[in-house]
Chain A
Amino acid sequence: QKEVEQNSGPLSVPEGAIASLNCTYSDRGSQSFFWYRQYSGKSPELIMFIYSNGDKEDGRFTAQLNKASQYVSLLIRDSQPSDSATYLCAVTPPLVFGKGTRLSVIA
Chain B
Amino acid sequence: DAEITQSPRHKITETGRQVTLACHQTWNHNNMFWYRQDLGHGLRLIHYSYGVQDTNKGEVSDGYSVSRSNTEDLPLTLESAASSQTSVYFCASSRGGQGNEQFFGPGTRLTVL
Which residues on A are within 8 Å of B, measured CB to CB? 31-32, 34, 42-46, 49, 51, 88, 90, 92-93, 95-100
Contact = CB atoms under 8 A, between A and B. Distances in A.
B45 interface: yes
A99 B41 contact: yes
Contacts of B40: 99
A-B complex: 8 closest residue pairs judged by Cβ atoms: A99-B42, A32-B99, A43-B104, A97-B43, A46-B101, A93-B98, A44-B104, A92-B98
Nearest to B107: A43
Given A42-B106, A44-B43, A44-B104, 17 more contacts: A32-B98, A43-B90, A43-B105, A43-B107, A44-B90, A46-B101, A46-B102, A46-B103, A88-B42, A92-B98, A93-B98, A95-B33, A95-B48, A95-B98, A97-B43, A98-B42, A99-B42
Contacts of B41: 99
A93 B42 CA distance: 18
A96 B35 CA distance: 11
